[in-house]
Amino acid sequence: MHWIAIDFETANASRNSACALGVAVVQSGSIVERASWLIRPPVLDFDPFNVSIHGITAEDVKDSPTFDQLWQEVGRVVMGQAVVAHNASFDISVLRHVLDEYGIPYPQLDYYCTCNFCRALWPGQIAYRLDVMADLLGIRFQHHDAEEDAVACATIALECCRKTGASGLEMLADQHMITKGRLYPGGYTPCSRRCERLARRSNSPESFATGEGNAGPMFAITGTLMSMTRHEAAQKVVDHGWRFKNNVTHETDFLIMGEQDFRKFKDGKKGNKLRSAEELLQAGHPIEIITEDDFMRMLDLR
């Protein structure tokens, strides 16, 4: 059992605004090292919402290294290693964006998501956030402290292996039809549960998780999301006790606008779902059009 758990905190909604990184190193089934760094983002623009979550301010990081200065140290730790994060789609997205910001080639590494592991091993939970799963497993930690979050993630991954008898993350993923993600020079492949990949082959809206029986708000998505697939987003909606439908109807409470549709919208173009949402708004239905970052905040993943 050898891997590295990571956790990023960000200054604002931009994925290149990493302001803290936590790392926990697992060797032979134990956490043998833990560390964290404050990071000066490219712009010292700290959203009060983000500050309210992690408590880090511009004053705290104004004299800290930028990520390109930190990468020589951090890169040696993660290069060629298996990496795990809780909601890896977010943390790996932050890693990619800060590397892109400074023109640094992506490292070669495989990565996994403890959210996916937890969904497979503890089905039926209302939510799979880090604090919820840590509480379920009796793990005490200070949430939204990057180092503490990384250690909690590493501990959850260890518990998953112990529960299943897996000798490592790759075996654990294979046991539960989870495809590892890959980061490599020039690109990346997201990690996912294979049952989600099979569902994506169908064009039927019924292939999405719907949350039938849930009592929460109804969500729909238009455009391409940057941090996850639509099926992964639909599953997160359902995991939080909310509902999902692939088209916009009078039941829709929130329409998540992906980057692709946002660009079209700025150019004066509107897709069918956005037009439907505007018609509902004009008719007095209180539907809300939100960005991907708004959605991530609602999930408490920012």
CATH number for position 256: 3.40.50.10190
Q: Quick one: pLDDT at residue 206?
A: 46
Instruction: For residues 147 and 229, state if they share a domain.
Output: no
Residues 141 and 223 in one domain: no
Angle between helices 259-266 and 272-282 (to 10 degrees): 70
User: What type of residue is 62?
Assistant: K
User: Same domain for 236 and 140?
Assistant: no
Domain range spanning residue 69? Answer: 3-197
Taking the C-alpha atoms of residue 192 and residue 273, their distance in angstroms, rounded to an integer, is 26
Residue after which a domain boundary falls, among 156, 179, 197: 197
Rounded CA separation 50/128 (Å) = 21
Per-residue pLDDT of the chain (302 residues; tens, 9 = 90+): 799 999 999 999 888 999 999 999 999 999 999 999 999 999 999 999 899 999 999 999 999 999 999 999 999 889 888 999 998 988 999 999 999 999 999 999 999 999 889 988 998 676 788 998 999 999 999 999 999 999 999 999 999 999 999 999 999 999 998 989 999 998 998 887 654 443 444 444 447 888 888 878 999 998 888 778 888 899 889 888 899 998 999 989 899 988 655 555 555 567 788 888 888 888 888 888 888 877 887 886 54
Beta strands across the sheet bearing 243-244: 243-244, 218-222, 254-257, 288-291
CA-to-CA distance for 203 and 205, rounded, in angstroms? 6
| Separation CA 27–CA 4 (nearest Å) | 9
Same domain, 264 and 143: no
pTM attached to this predicted model: 0.69
pLDDT for the residue 145: 97
Q: Which of 168, 197, 226 finishes a domain?
A: 197
Specify whether 37 is located in the same domain as 103.
Answer: yes
In this structure, are 34 and 116 located in the same domain?
A: yes
Q: Report CA torsion sign: 274, 276, 281, 285.
A: negative
Residue 110's H or E segment, with its range, is strand 109-113
Taking CA atoms, 215 is separated from 8, 162, 182, 237, in Å, by: 32, 35, 36, 12
Q: Which residues pair with 188 in a beta bridge?
A: 183
In this prediction, residue 262 carries a pLDDT of 56
Distance CA 178, CA 114 (A): 11
At residue 21, the 3 state secondary structure works out as strand
- Which residue, 290, 267, 298, 1, is CA-closest to 157? 1
Output the pLDDT for position 39: 98
104 and 31, same structural domain?
A: yes
Select from 138, 165, 197 the last residue of a domain. 197
The answer on 293 and 170 residing in a single domain is: no
Give 103's DSSP letter.
T
pLDDT for the residue 260: 57
CATH of the domain at 178: 3.30.420.10
pLDDT at site 8: 97
Number of domains in the chain: 2
Q: Tell me: do 39 and 186 sit in the same domain.
A: yes
**Same-domain status, 167 and 246:** no
Residues 6+ apart with CB under 8 A from 229: 190, 192, 196, 200
Q: How many CB atoms lie within 10 A of CB 140?
A: 9
Joined together, the tokens standing for residue 165 give: 């008898």
The answer on 244 and 131 residing in a single domain is no
210 and 110 in a common domain: no
